[in-house]
Amino acid sequence: MTCGVAIRRTDSSPVISMAHATLYCLGWVTLAISCPALAARHAVPQEHPRLLGSARELQELAKARPQAYQRVVAVARQSGGDDYSKMISMALACAIDGEESLGRAAVERAMKYVNGPIRQGHTPFATDLALCALVYDLCHDCWTSAQREKCHTYINKTVEANVQSETHVFHNGWYGYKNWGIGLACYATYHENPRAPEFLRVLEADWRGRAAPALELAGAGGGWAEGYYLNYFLYEWLFFCEVARHCEGVDYYAEAPQFFRQRAVASMFETYPGIGTYNSRRSLPMGDGGGRLFGGDRDKILAARRILVNHFRADPEHQVAHAFNEITPRSSVGNYAYKDFLWRDTSVKKGDLSGFRLSHVSPGPGYVYARSSWDEDATHFFFKCGDRFTAHQHLDVGHFLIYKHEELAGDGGHYDDFGSPHDVNYHLRTIAHSTILVHDPCETWPRIRAGAVTGNDGGQHHNWPHHNGAVADPAQWLRQRHLYDIADLLAFEDTGGYAYVAGDCTRAYAPRKLSCFTRQIVFLRPGTFVIFDRVCATKPEFKKTWLLQAMKPPATTSGHLVVTNGKGRLFLQTLLPEKPQVRLVAGADLYRYGGHSFPPGRDTGPAPECRIEISPGEARAADYFLHVLTATDAEVAEVDSAVATVTENQVRVTLGATTITFHAEKTGGNIEWAGHKTALAESVILPAAP
């Protein structure tokens, strides 16, 4: 049994360009001569406000969006509320209507940060800076000279204290915990704080030299290798990008087009079908976080898509994203009315959502998304087969999610704390994901996230110099590529009736125990998934286990395991291996393996309640796993049974009028579908744009 071969990244991939290298060595002035993104640069305006436009422009916006603006004013005048929403709302009302009482109240709130201790490290000091900057700019006449001087000192000391904070550009902190706040503070005080221009140039140099190449490398296609954490920082970073555009004509998007031009569409696909709490949408879980429970991050996701839609408004795909956004036209948290006021632009042309393509690929993080339709009751599918970049990723190469009305195959464990016993022994480990285990009883894991690893789950290795499994920037990733380049998307194609994906997961595992693991999945719309895995261990006695993270413990119907969650149901048929050993792990045993238990310290929302484990009945070095999963409405009592036929060179599965044939010794094969026989793709064929 051999593994397929994919074309992997080469030196011509979007990593560190000569322009980036020039910037890093010689400074901003060198790059400014030749960089297209700087062609429209203009002087920062002297007058206030300027961060979000002039006073006249903001007043015109209030006339154009009166309902949203009145909601902003209501938030500004109400008692209580968090500083984030209150300070921005009060400052906007001051700038637009000249309400000095609200402006002075906003300044009082800002002075608590100005007079408070200087925060540094992995703390949200950037948000503090951003809020003070917005109040400084929008309520400029409400500050006394002494208060302004104190604010300048506070900004400068905070920047100086955090030169070495949040320097890893694959991590959310660079964008959300640090630089958006520094950027806003510097543009707000640009002509009054002598150090502001200097700080901005340093930020811009680091962006162009390290951060933009990171987005191109780990974010090509609009996904992001850090997973769900993208949703915790992207809105703030886009906020800064818009401020830079308003204040100086700088186009930060132009430096990472493979990420920014695809992010809005990828975000659509990262959202489960259906509208939930307070008319919000839930995003699928990827890595840490996951948004299982309702929170303000859902409004940030919507606002981020809106900003990108507004910027790329002439693009047909962004017009479709606008139509998607308009299904949920208001922020779900009332205090975030300012997000609707600033970013909901109904003048963008609406595209045809119902006719839009049903799949998306983000090659950077190795993500594939597919849906059965754009209806709210659609089946949703996600597959992950990508490389390693940052600490919030999991050991989950080959993992997939299936959703129909509710999550059916989910993401296991709870993010109870970074580096907790549950986190490092279950939540981020392979055992908590729907992929493959190969158990070598002698295998050990080093410390992960500075947490003690005591469990041998049989999963993927954690073989990186930094205990968080993270790299600082693209240059380091390239130097240590042999460690971090751990997976490849081998093939993808979507024909409409079906989508096909193949991935090589081999390098995610310790080579002493596993020599090959390829996964191929055919999504037969509307809800059937044929999953064929080829797994070869280095020793027959290393037990192989196929995992499914079931949201509810399954029942048995007509010989099939059936998972029912709310209005959704998932039928599981095991065709290979023959005479499988099936183990259902639930209840008190769910977080137990190897004689040890790793329960979560807290409940972070609905998580899989049962781990389905399927292993061969006989020990062999090489095994095939062939499963058919069918997502349906909960009222469906049974589905068609599938039949497998194995020959020396082929593995064939027949399901109704459809026959899929996989090559036995390499990826690929063919499908007989609707009277036609078609070869499965042998490379990644990206879905066509409208």
Q: How many domains does the chain have?
A: 2
Domain edge (last residue) among 276, 310, 343: 343
* Biggest CA-to-CA distance, the chain: 84
Closest-CA residue to 108 (of 123, 96, 122, 91): 91
Q: What is the pLDDT of residue 467?
A: 82
Counting other chains too, the contacts that 249-256 makes at CB distance below 8 Å and 24 or more residues apart are 249/40, 249/41, 249/42, 250/37, 250/38, 250/41, 250/204, 251/37, 251/40, 252/37, 252/207, 252/212, 253/311, 254/36, 254/37, 255/37, 255/207, 255/208, 255/212, 256/212, 256/213, 256/215, 256/216, 256/219
What is residue 233's three-state secondary structure? Answer: helix
Q: What is the pLDDT of residue 344?
A: 98
Residue 409, domain member (yes or no): yes
**Helix (H) or strand (E) segment spanning residue 214:** helix 212-218
What is residue 248's three-state secondary structure? Answer: helix
Do residues 237 and 207 make contact, with C-beta atoms less than 8 angstroms apart? no
pLDDT of 405 > 60? The answer is yes
pLDDT of 409 > 90? The answer is yes
Domain edge (last residue) among 288, 318, 343: 343
Same domain, 407 and 524: yes
Query: Domain of 30: which CATH number?
Result: 1.50.10.100
**Helix (H) or strand (E) segment spanning residue 605:** none
Residue 534, domain member (yes or no): yes
pLDDT of 99 > 90? The answer is yes
Global pTM value: 0.94
Pairwise CA distance, residues 97 & 342, whole Å: 16
Q: What is the DSSP letter of 119?
A: P
Same domain, 326 and 395: no
Same domain, 169 and 227: yes
Structural domain boundaries enclosing 282: 18-343
Pairwise CA distance, residues 293 & 462, whole Å: 29
Q: Give the CB-side neighbour count of residue 553, counting CA atoms within 13 A.
A: 8
Q: Which of 175-189, 393-407, 464-478, 613-627 has the lowest mean pLDDT?
A: 464-478
Q: Which of 351-365, 482-496, 674-688 has the lowest mean pLDDT?
A: 674-688
Please report, rounded to a whole number, the percentage of residues in the chain having pLDDT higher than 70: 94
Mean pLDDT of the chain: 93
Query: Domain of 549: which CATH number?
Result: 2.70.98.70
pLDDT of 36 > 70? The answer is no
In this prediction, residue 38 has a pLDDT band, given cuts at 50, 70 and 90, of low
Same domain, 155 and 204: yes
Do residues 55 and 96 make contact, with C-beta atoms less than 8 angstroms apart? yes
pLDDT of 126 > 90? The answer is yes
Q: What is the DSSP letter of 485?
A: -
Pairwise CA distance, residues 551 & 570, whole Å: 10
522 — phi, psi (to 5°)? -110, 120
Residue 572's DSSP bridge partners are 561, 629
Same domain, 339 and 415: no
Q: What is the DSSP letter of 451?
A: B
Pairwise CA distance, residues 400 & 501, whole Å: 11
Model pLDDT for residues 618-647, shown as the tens digit of each residue: 999 999 999 999 999 999 999 999 999 999
State both tokens at 111. Answer: 């002075």
Q: Which residue has the higher pLDDT, 410 or 81?
A: 410
Instruction: Tell me whether residue 480 is exposed, middle or buried, using C-beta atoms within 10 angstroms of its C-beta: 0 to 12, 13 to 18, 19 or more.
Output: middle
Q: Which residue has the higher pLDDT, 629 or 2?
A: 629
Residue 144, domain member (yes or no): yes
State both tokens at 639. Answer: 């589905």
